[in-house]
Structure 1
Amino acid sequence: MLMGIKSLKIVKKTMDTDGSWMKDAVRDSPKVYLLTGSRNNTVWEFASIRAFMEDSTKPGPRKLILTHSWQGTGQVIYKGFLFFHSQGTPNEIIKYNLQKRTVEDRMLLLGGAGRALAYPHSPSTYIDLADAEASFLLCGVLYVVYSSGGLGPHRITCVYDPLGTVIEENLPNVFFPRRSRSHSMIHYNPRDKQLYAWNDGNQIIYKLQTKRKQPLQ
């Protein structure tokens, strides 16, 4: 479970206030994916984190034009598939094959998700597949990040563990290094055990301090 934020590294800076960037959450691949803006249909695929950081690295990124546009910054890449909220729909999720560039599946979330904002800090994101934006999942536990609007550091304000192995009252106060704006996205990559975040055009990696959850009594 999360015990603290050890360090912050700004990997890259783009001109876009909102967006998301990530690696595949499962596959052992060095590729990095960049999705700029909260409404778009272009994915940039970089061969490695170094290629992502250095614009002069050859070969350059691969440009993937999707057949559908996404909405928000809550995308996730899992086993080579990009999952995203289809733009202009209240609750349609698309499973997109990045290799074949085809839609593999689609589904409608029950209850009309997307008709109300999931997080008030980001009105562009209605459905958050990575539990990113203002919250993230780490080892099955949901952590919610509160932004003070530039008046202080961002911090974890709510923790939900469906198994009951993590009790919020027993957790330390977890603060993020101070940033001028709220995060456009935050999500945890279980392969490298780091948080990937987007803040005011900066693509950031947070290194974490964690410990094992105690088993249920």
Structure 2
Amino acid sequence: MAGIVLLTCALLSFATTITGQGQQVFLEYMQGRIGVLEERITQWHDQSSRYSSELREFKNKVLTLLENIEKERESLRNEMENTNVRVDRLEREVDYMETQNPAPPCVEVDEKLTELQNKKKKKYEKLTDCSDTISQVSAMKILKRFGSTSGLWTKDPVGNSEKVYIFDGVGNDTVFVFSRMKEFTLSSSSRKAAKIKLPFPWIGTGHVVYQGNLYYIRHEQDNEFQVIKFNLANKTVVDSAVLPIEEQVPVYGLSQFSYIDIVADEEGLWAIYATKENEKNICLAKIDPSNLGIEQMWDTPCPIENAESAFVVCGALYVVYNTKLPSRSRIQCVFDVSGTISSENVPIIYFPKRYGSHSSMKYNPKEKQIYAWDDGYQIIYKLTMKSKEDLD
């Protein structure tokens, strides 16, 4: 543009040397040429603006396409991972079923329903000679207040380990471990604890440490719950299984965050759960700790309503009840898998009044004590036992 101005100035200076008719013609010629140049400059400016606008639109379209492609790629990747997990679980369950069961007969029946019915009908064969039942709660000891209002704490009842395991909250992936009870009691925070990072987060407060392994509940898709067997020594997943239970509901009316409660007693491991099919009463299952298989199942008469926790002692399920406004918790329903005792011949057993309601109660068969979590307080209940034969 500056060059055109200089050229114009030079031509005008040249025009001053021309006189008369020639000067007028020259000026008209120059005005025409300058008009053509201005028109071309305007066209170039318009085309440049249009190209810039089209380039921006093209760039935005490309960015949008790239974002959509990335989202679709991530969605496909998640679907592939979920499919791989389900296929792997299905293959393991099929392998297990093939090794444990003979070829099915050629009849049109619901095999899963038949299997569950058989496990509920067969007589339970005790593994030990344990015949104790709870006589009373003889003492209560409040250790401290640690963590959230809901959680659980426990020890391994098998072996000589004194480690204390803390599960803070109803959904997390980090377990705090104290080397002994005194260290946990005197510690002011979790900084003195060792930490175990789990491969999957847990849900609820239905976990247990047994024979050096952690058995905990993982929530999967489609409202499925998986039991994870995690070795605490080498920090690896030993096994996992989805229990043959459909349409699960919270097992305790006052603790809606727990769908499966894995507990230990003198006989081994048990699963306390509830289903939509039998949503009014609690169910019980015996678990094989080696492979997480269900050995036997029972429908109990113990209602879910107002239940806050439960545990098993010598093959008998004790369900603890409360009210929505926290009061004294009490054992109000007992179900013995051997049929020796029932709620009718066991008196209601009250726990000492505390702060709120229990989010977990873990029975330790070695110590005959219950490790309870009550509104963030860690409590030990000492139990007094008597023989089932002494019941009236």
Aligned residue for 2:149? Answer: 17
Secondary structure at the residue paired with 1:181? coil
Residue deviations 1:41-76 (CA, integer Å, cap 9, x gap): 10111111101101169x932111111111000100
Q: 1:120 is matched with which residue: 243, 250, 253? A: 253
Structure 1 residues 113-152: aligned runs within 5 Å: 115-130=248-263, 134-150=309-325, 152=327
Q: Quick check: which one's helix share is greater?
A: 2
User: 1:35 maps to which residue?
Assistant: 167
Give the 3-state SS of the residue equivalent to 2:184 in structure 1: helix
Within 5 A, what are the aligned runs for 1:6-155?
Answer: 6-55=138-187, 60-89=192-221, 90-112=224-246, 115-130=248-263, 134-150=309-325, 152-155=327-330
Q: Which consecutive residues of structure 2, in runs of 5 or more, have no partner in the other structure?
A: 1-132, 264-270, 273-307
Tell me if the contact between 1:71 and 1:88 (Cα under 8 Å) persists in the aligned partners. Answer: no
Compute the TM-score of the two structures, normalised by the length of structure 2: 0.52
1:101 Cα offset (Å)? 1.0
The alpha-carbon deviation at position 169 of structure 1 amounts to 1.9
Runs of 4+ aligned residues of structure 1 deviating over 4 Å after TM superposition are none
Q: Secondary structure at the match of 1:73?
A: coil
Runs of 5+ consecutive residues of structure 1 not aligned to the other structure? none
> Which is greater in Rg?
2
Q: Percent identity?
A: 40
Q: Which has the higher strand share?
A: 1
Q: What is the Cα-based RMSD across aligned positions, in Å?
A: 2.0
- One-letter amino acid of the structure 2 residue matched with residue 46 of structure 1: F
How big is the shift at 1:198?
0.4
1-structure distance, mates of 2:152, 2:257 = 12
RCO comparison, higher one (Cα < 8 Å, 6+): 1
- The number of equivalent residue pairs is 213
C-alpha contact (below 8 Å) 1:181/1:199 kept by paired residues: yes
On the 8 A contact 1:39/1:87 being kept in 2, the answer is no
Give per-residue Cα distances to partners, 1:114-173, cap 9 Å, x unaligned.
x31111111111111126861111111100000123453111110000111113222222
TM-score, normalization: structure 1?
Answer: 0.92
Contact 1:27 1:78 (8 Å CA) reproduced = no
